[in-house]
Amino acid sequence: MVNLYFQPDAQLTTQDRMVLDILQKDYDRHKKVNGTEQQPSQDSEDSGKKHTRFDSASPEDAQEAEEQALAHLKELNNPTSDQFEPTVFVTVDYPNITNPLLRKYIVEPYVRWGRSVVRVDTDVVMLTHLLLYLTTSIPSAIYLFYNFHWWHGPLHSIMQLYYMGSYTLMMHQHIHMRGILNKAYSAVDLAFPYILDPMMGHTWNSYYFHHVKHHHVEGNGPNDLSSTIRYQRDDVWHFLHYLGRFYFLIWFDLPRYFLRTRKPELALKAGACEIASYVCLYTLFTYVNARATVFVFLVPLAIMRLGLMIGNWGQHAFVDETEPDSDFRSSITVIDVASNRYCFNDGYHTSHHLNPMRHWRDHPIAFLAQKSTYSSEHALVFYNIDYLMITFSLLAKNYEHLAKCLVPMGDQMELSMKERAEMLRSKTRKFSEEEIAAKWGKQFAKLK
């Protein structure tokens, strides 16, 4: 048997640390009950690294600890509780801002005002981000069109690249929850995506139509335009085909999908928004300022579409061969820094597919509440790795590293590191059309 391989990252959110702590204790208790000992020398040439160890507890104590953790997480999200903690910045947690003058005269007044502006009290951070983009991205873009400099253009694109992840997952919350600001600011809530989306690499409304009205309807099944099941998920050429199709044909494929599924109104809206975006970009490039258009709009567009496909590949690369249509078995959970601290708990992708309307701060709570179901459904949980690196590790066929990042649950606890790697490899295999017909129905298969 092997223990969890890496030390938890010091930047994990409070919620992630609590979730991972409980999972690690589950594993430690399992080892003790089964009389197994950690044998790192048999698992890796890197066995000299420090491994995380926890004291075991009885099942009753463990259950009580989980209930206490759940209660505490709920209190952190409860605006009426004295334990309530809003998220104000992604880089630092609210309790860790300890300077008394800073808290009294700047942070706390800002939080009080922010809670009156945002739709959900925990989400002051989203107002923080809107103000950040208002004071950096927009002025920088305007000045590039007014007075372009070659040093300024690349720096602007680099800044936007840094913002893209947080912005996109803020918009993820926006499109699922129908806004992030309260009703008094509904005009701002409606307008800002039309200004900021193109600057962050999105065409108008394309994220909403593709993600909400398409991806969540199809759930990575054979009718999903971003489905991974017809690809060998550790093959570079398959990934490039997947990426190229999205890059060059999504403007055509998405309206065509809506027409095929008898949703002509959505087809018209999706097609019109995509074409209008391209017409606007062409006009700016041809008649206004070509150099500024490249760095303000075209570079972000190219990077964002690459990022979306790398991310979706990682999120849905592991598909169970027995029940591929299960949300527990066709998506994963990631407990890491980038996905959860900076991107609003995007790592809890299984939880999101189980309930797309679930608020981002509720994902750790939902995960712990359903932990036994995740375990019995053979769900996959990773830590110390984000979707980007999952995709890169797959394309490098580095299953050993992926196995080290797996947090074993249920029957997975019985597997050695090598067995974990082989188990993960088995879930990246391309589905044949015959298998698609058997699992999803003949109407979805491309049978000859």
DSSP 68-104: HHHHHHHHHH-TTSTT------SSS-GGG---HHHII
pLDDT at 402: 97
With respect to residue 5, please indicate whether it lies within any of the assigned structural domains.
Answer: no
Are 197 and 293 found together in one domain?
A: yes
Are 29 and 66 found together in one domain?
A: yes
Are 66 and 152 found together in one domain?
A: no
Q: Give the model confidence (pLDDT) of 379-398 as tens digits.
A: 999 999 999 999 999 999 99
Are 245 and 124 found together in one domain?
A: yes
Domain boundary among 299, 314, 329: 314
With respect to residue 186, please indicate whether it lies within any of the assigned structural domains.
Answer: yes
Q: Are strands 332-335 and 380-383 parallel, antiparallel or unpaired?
A: parallel
Are 113 and 60 found together in one domain?
A: no
pLDDT at 59: 64
With respect to residue 259, please indicate whether it lies within any of the assigned structural domains.
Answer: yes
Predicted TM-score (pTM) of the model is 0.92
Are 246 and 113 found together in one domain?
A: yes
Please give the Cα distance from 132 to 113 (Å, whole number).
16
Q: Which domain holds residue 152?
A: 102-314
Are 304 and 327 found together in one domain?
A: no
Q: Which candidate, 344, 347, 331, 356, places its Cα nearest to that of 388? A: 347
pLDDT at 212: 96
Please give the Cα distance from 351 to 436 (Å, whole number).
25
pLDDT band at 8 (very low <50, low <70, confident <90, very high): confident
With respect to residue 8, please indicate whether it lies within any of the assigned structural domains.
Answer: no
What is the count of structural domains for the chain? Answer: 2
Residue 334 phi, psi dihedral angles, 5° rounding: -125, 125
| Average confidence (pLDDT) over 173-190 | 95
pLDDT at 43: 44
Percent of the chain with pLDDT over 90: 87
pLDDT at 340: 97
Are 116 and 58 found together in one domain?
A: no
**pLDDT over threshold 80, residue 48:** no
With respect to residue 238, please indicate whether it lies within any of the assigned structural domains.
Answer: yes
pLDDT at 434: 94
pLDDT band at 236 (very low <50, low <70, confident <90, very high): very high
Are 310 and 402 found together in one domain?
A: no
Please give the Cα distance from 330 to 218 (Å, whole number).
12
Are 270 and 219 found together in one domain?
A: yes
pLDDT at 39: 43
With respect to residue 444, please indicate whether it lies within any of the assigned structural domains.
Answer: no
pLDDT at 36: 55
Are 182 and 331 found together in one domain?
A: no
Domain boundary among 314, 331, 355: 314
Are 76 and 110 found together in one domain?
A: no
With respect to residue 171, please indicate whether it lies within any of the assigned structural domains.
Answer: yes
With respect to residue 332, please indicate whether it lies within any of the assigned structural domains.
Answer: yes
Domain boundary among 314, 349, 380: 314
